[in-house]
Amino acid sequence: MSISRRHFLTLAGASATSSFLLAGLESLYSESGARSLVKSPKVNGYGALVKDPKGILDLPAGFRYKIVSQSGKQMSDGTVTPSNYDGMAAFAGKNGSKILVRNHELRLTDQSRVIAALDRMYDPNCKGGTTTLTLDRDRQLTKEYVSLAGTSVNCSGGTTPWGTWISCEENTAMPGMSDPGKGTVTKPHGYNFEVPINSQTPVVPVPLVAMGRFRHEAISIDPRTGIVYQTEDDPTGLFYRFMPKQPGKLAAGGILEALKIVKKPQVNTNQNFPLRQKFAVEWVRIEEPNPAENTVRMEGFTKGAAQFMRGEGICYTNGSFYFTCTQGGNVLPNAPLRVGEEARGNGQIWKYTPGKTAKNGGSIELFLEPNDPNIVDLPDNITVAPNGHLITCEDGKGEQRLIGITPKGGVYTFARNARDRSEFAGACFTPDGQTMFVNIYDPGITVAIWGNWARV
pLDDT digits (tens, 9 = 90+) for 152-190: 999 999 999 999 999 999 999 999 876 555 679 999 999
Statement to judge: residues 200 and 229 lie in one domain = no
Answer yes or no: is 324 within a domain: yes
Q: How many domains does the structure of the chain reveal?
A: 2
Q: Tell me how far apart the alpha carbons of residues 151 and 217 are, in angstroms, rounded to a whole number.
A: 14
71 and 138 co-located in one domain: yes
Residue 37 lies in a domain: no
Q: Using one digit for the tens of pLDDT, what is the confidence trace for 321-340?
A: 999 999 999 876 666 555 55
- Are 311 and 428 in the same domain? no
Distance, in Å, from the CA atom of 398 to the CA atom of 144, rounded to the nearest integer, reads: 32
Does 122 lie in the same domain as 237?
A: no
Residues 245 and 369 in one domain: yes
Identify whether 443 is preceded by a cis peptide bond (ω within 30 of 0).
yes
SS3 state at 194: strand
CA distance 47 to 343: 33
**Residues 87, 103: contact at Cβ < 8 Å?**
yes
CA 65 to chain centre: 21
Pair 90, 186 in one domain: yes
User: Is residue 327 in a domain?
Assistant: yes
What stretch of H or E contains 257? strand 254-261
Average pLDDT of span 428-436: 97
Domain boundary among 373, 393, 425: 373
In a domain, 447, yes or no: yes
105 found inside a domain: yes
Tell me the average pLDDT across 405-417. 94
Residues 310 and 416 reside in one and the same domain: no
Q: Is residue 11 part of a domain?
A: no
Inform me whether the pLDDT recorded for 31 exceeds 50. Answer: no
Residue 435 one-letter amino acid:
T
Three-class secondary structure of residue 289 per DSSP:
coil
Is the confidence at residue 8, as pLDDT, over 70? no
Task: Identify the domain containing residue 288 by its residue range.
Answer: 225-332+344-373
Residues 353 and 419 in one domain: no
- The answer to whether residues 288 and 353 belong to one domain is yes
178 and 107 in one domain?
A: yes
Q: Does residue 381 lie within any of the structural domains? A: no
* 214 falls within a domain: no
203 and 244 in a single domain? The answer is no
DSSP state of 207: B
Beta bridge partners of 66: 448
pTM here is 0.90
Could you tell me if 348 and 328 are in contact, meaning their C-beta atoms sit under 8 angstroms apart?
yes
Percent of the chain with pLDDT over 70: 86
Which positions ≥6 away from 381 have C-beta within 8 Å?
86, 87, 156, 218, 312, 313, 324, 392, 393, 424, 425, 426, 427
Q: Are residues 98 and 178 in the same domain?
A: yes
How would you label 114-134 residue by residue, b for 16+ Cβ within 10 Å and e otherwise?
bbbeeebbbbebbbbbbbbbb
